[in-house]
A and B are shown apart, each in its own frame.
Chain A
């Protein structure tokens, strides 16, 4: 505690000397971030590490998720209307929003519709002068099918913008809350283009967010300063420092020594010690993810839902939770996590019953069944040790007379080969939600469009498809909820996956940190955080 105070006092002193006149009470928050961002334009990337350093501190979006929830609310747009046919979204923009002033750029005007049009058209229009700047490949924008969805983004007046869609899409508002939809300054972009240095827009970001970038030393430190004119009020902390610390054990030592305030990904083995440490506050929450085993429902006998249900009954999920997640997980019964709206509490999970599983297989005439289990070669939040998980499932299968073989490939190959519609075997994989909308799980992972792609079960089941397609175009949240709840029941009956677990996310903080909230999307948001 004493050390932390010393550090903070010292940092305050340094801030006064270096960053600028911040005042005698300057507060500095040190975040032991896990790695360097790939860059500072969130439109280019898909990794949370890059979003933490850019979209979540430096930029705003038209709409944003309420901190710590998946509930979307106004941000740079104060309100919006959706046309009756669901194809036109009209946003009324907030007035008086200031962009950051940096060494490269001093804004001459407030945020307006030009900035919104620039931010989206850069990604949408291949002929846009900024489309190819910095080798732009807009993976999230493309991954969310925005080029197919968006017809145009038009300025109606300085404070009104309309998005015209090619088809109705109920999750559109949630999509606009995602990191790729961050709003950049078009004035800055034009100035840099004129100066012949357009790539500066992506290196030295200018946003409207609560913090502005001051300095970045790759693999060492990122320094931010509170935006003094932030539209929602200046942040409680004056300086935000990312001390890049790739090793979690070392980050824990830094936390104990008072060299940082937050460790984002503590080692499971350290959690008990952290709980006992009076200087550390360990926060835990279910993650917005699901880990699963996807059968290939196009290949016999896995095309028979009864066989799939039997195999699901053979898997001892409690043992997996214990051995693989070391208690930091929750058994998954639905294909969406409990933190997402429309999660169906009423569905019944397949009970662990190897004897019953064996009987079902016999009744279906399945003998000497062999199964390949694909184990991911990488660690993911929804599956910290796929090899171990595969071994446990292999033992469970042996108990009902199913001979399972474990296979694995390099990660890129694994992702590619597992998409094959003729794939031999069941794939261990998972998903972390992008926008808190059930469509982002159910349609992406289980919809007919995803067969041969993100739908690893290769499962196209019309009753399920009808439900999720209808939910896509209905704008009434209550009706959508009902449709998704029904879809989860159909999913459970048909069992294209064995749903395994949702991970529990842990964050270790110094006791003096106040009002930090775990972001369900896995981000780290420091606006609203204070230090005692």
Chain B
């Protein structure tokens, strides 16, 4: 297991350096520069432009800038936003708990609904339930997040008045952030109704962000289960007189889980991408919107730092997924 972990880390470290290079170069390949964008229609003189470029260090050759960036990274300095003048790491970790909280709830929702739905659809192949699940999954996968979010807001918040329109908690509640996770902080605050308010604010964004992963998990579970259910060992188990719950739960599901876990791992990246739109619609103060704003403003430090941190998180999650394979199927540890 240890050598397996080492092999995986051997892949992650060069990937991490690759990400630093890609994030550093790509943002600079975009036309326009942050200084020009800061000035807008008002513009600025060539001299002032040159002065500010030098002040931010953008006048140096790109390789020198990259070298400095790597040096700073090793000393734990992710840079300072040229727009807000705040350290990138501080901005990221102020906003990240909101994205993480939303993503965790969204993926839990997707797994808790998608997994059983896919399993039941597979065992009842061709039934009305199967058709409903597959059609729903296709619709969920194809739906534009923006449209879906607005639709839910108009219906549940506007017409029915069941959920709040946007935000993380009602403006009624005001307390200092302890963990950055609103569910925990609202609970710790001890203010009556704060936790309930945080939960009610989380429902719609979690549904919207969880929809695509839910659809993918349901479809993947169904197809993996169908494949496993047709295997000889399942037929043998049935012939031995095992009940359906033991056959499916013990023999079929465990073997069907490998591709499903792969898909769940891959959905972490999808969640970060989906968070950009979901956070914008629901005024959710997370890193998705922050990244988009940073890209539009050519805030190089924020984009580089943000991309690197997101990539690191996705890599760690995928490492955990890889380790889970090993736990589920020990063969992988030996053959990979």
Q: How large is the interface on B (under 10, 10 to 19, 20 to 34, 35 or more residues)?
A: 35 or more
**Do A410 and B285 touch across chains, with their CB atoms under 8 A apart?**
no
Interface residue? A247 (CB, 8 A) = yes
Cβ of B101 under 8 Å from chain A = no
Contact of B17 with A by CB under 8 A:
no
B32 is contacted by which of A221, A246, A254, A411 (Cβ under 8 Å)?
Answer: A411
CA distance A135 to B154 in the complex (A): 43
- Inter-chain CA distance A140–B42, complex, in Å, is 9
Asked if B286 and A219 sit within 8 Å, CB to CB, the answer is yes
Q: Which of A30, A135, A415, A453 contacts B36 (CB 8 A)?
A: A415
Asked whether B103 is an interface residue with its Cβ less than 8 Å from the other chain, the reply is no
A452 — nearest CB in chain B belongs to which residue? Answer: B46
Q: How far apart are B92's CB and chain A's nearest CB, in angstroms? A: 11
Q: A139-B39, A259-B164, A415-B40 are in contact. Are A14 and B32 (CB under 8 A)?
A: no
Residues 128-164 of B contacting A (Cβ, < 8 Å): 150, 153-154, 157-158, 161, 164
| A38-46, A466-474, A522-530: which lies at the interface | A38-46
Which one of A3, A10, A143 contacts B172 once the chains associate, using CB atoms below 8 Å?
A: A10
Assess whether B255 is interfacial by the CB under 8 Å rule.
Answer: no
Segment from B63-71, B104-112, B173-181, B318-326 that makes contact with A:
B173-181
Write out the residue numbers on chain B whose beta carbons fall within 8 Å of the beta carbon of A83. Answer: none
**B283 and chain A: residue at smallest CB distance:** A245
Q: Does A318 contact B (CB under 8 A)?
A: no
Q: Complex Cα distance A371/B171, Å?
A: 54
A379 at the interface (CB under 8 A from B): no
Q: Is the CB of B37 within 8 A of A411?
A: yes
CA distance A10 to B193 in the complex (A): 12
Q: State whether the Cβ of B10 lies closer than 8 Å to any Cβ in chain A.
A: no
Which of A18, A219, A259 meets B289, CB within 8 Å?
Answer: A219
Interface membership of A431, Cβ < 8 A: yes
Q: Are B285 and A412 in contact (CB under 8 A)?
A: no
Query: Smallest CB-CB separation from A376: which chain B residue?
Result: B41
- B-chain residues with CB within 8 Å of residue A140 when the two chains form the complex: 42
A285 interface contact, C-beta 8 A: no
The 8 Å CB contact of A409, one of B31, B281, B289, is: B31
Q: Does A127 contact B (CB under 8 A)?
A: no
Check if B24 is an interface residue, CB within 8 A of chain A: no
Convert A458-483 into 0s and 1s, putting 1 for each residue whose CB lies closer than 8 angstroms to a CB of B: 00000000000000000000000000
Query: A205 to chain B: closest CB distance in Å?
Result: 14
**Nearest chain A CB to B73 CB, angstrom units:** 20
Do residues B171 and A11 form an inter-chain contact, with CB atoms below 8 A? Answer: yes
Task: Flag if B36 contacts A416 (CB, 8 Å).
Answer: yes
Q: Which of chain A's residues 211-247 have a Cβ closer than 8 Å to chain B?
A: 215, 217-221, 223, 241, 243-247
Known: A246-B283, A247-B280. A14 touches B174 (CB 8 A): yes
Interface majority SS on B: helix, strand, loop or mixed? loop
Interface of A is mostly: mixed
| Minimum C-beta distance from B93 to chain A (A) | 11
Interface flags, B13-48, vs A, CB<8A=1, else 0: 000000000000000001111001111111111001
Q: Does A106 contact B (CB under 8 A)?
A: no
B100 adjacent to chain A (CB < 8 Å): no
Check A46–B283 contact: CB distance below 8 A.
no
- Of the candidates A35, A135, A454, which one forms a contact with B80 in the assembled complex, judged by CB atoms under 8 Å apart? A135
Residue A301, interface by CB 8 Å: no
User: Given known contacts A243-B283, A429-B41, is B174 in contact with A253 (CB within 8 Å)?
Assistant: no
A38 in contact with B84 given A11-B171, A250-B150, A253-B165 (CB within 8 Å): yes
A335-B119 Cα distance, complex, nearest whole Å: 68
Q: Contact at B30–A38, with CB atoms within 8 Å?
A: no
Q: Please indicate which of the listed interface residues A36, A202, A219, A245 has the most CB atoms of chain B within 10 Å of its own CB.
A: A219
How far is the CB of A415 from the nearest CB of chain B, in Å? 6
Residues of A within 8 A of B298 (CB): 412
Q: Which residue of B lies closest to A133 (CB)?
A: B85
Say whether B153 contacts A413, CB under 8 Å.
no
Contact B150 A249 (CB under 8 A): yes
| The one of B85, B172, B177, B281 that contacts A217, using a Cβ cutoff of 8 Å | B177
Q: Shortest CB–CB separation between residue B81 and chain A, in angstroms? A: 9
Is residue B94 contacting chain A, with contact meaning CB distance below 8 A? yes
Residues of A within 8 A of B98 (CB): 220
Q: Which residue of B lies closest to A30 (CB)?
A: B171
A44 contacts B283, C-beta separation under 8 Å: no
User: Is A370's CB within 8 Å of the partner chain B?
Assistant: no
- Give the shortest distance, in Å, between B169 (CB) and chain A (any CB): 9
List 3 tightest A-B contacts by C-beta distance, closest first.
A412-B32, A219-B285, A220-B285
A-B contact pairs, 18 of them (CB 8 A): A7-B172, A11-B172, A17-B191, A18-B174, A137-B52, A137-B55, A139-B39, A143-B39, A143-B43, A220-B168, A253-B158, A259-B165, A412-B33, A413-B32, A415-B41, A416-B32, A429-B41, A454-B41
Interface residues of B (CB under 8 A from A): 30-33, 36-45, 48, 52, 55, 80, 82-85, 91, 94-95, 98, 150, 153-154, 157-158, 161, 164-168, 170-175, 177, 191, 279-286, 289-290, 293, 298
Q: Which residues of A contact B (CB under 8 A)?
A: 3, 7, 10-11, 13-14, 17-19, 30, 35-36, 38-39, 44, 46, 134-135, 137, 139-140, 142-143, 199, 202, 215, 217-221, 223, 241, 243-247, 249-250, 253-254, 256-257, 259, 409-413, 415-416, 419, 429-432, 453-454
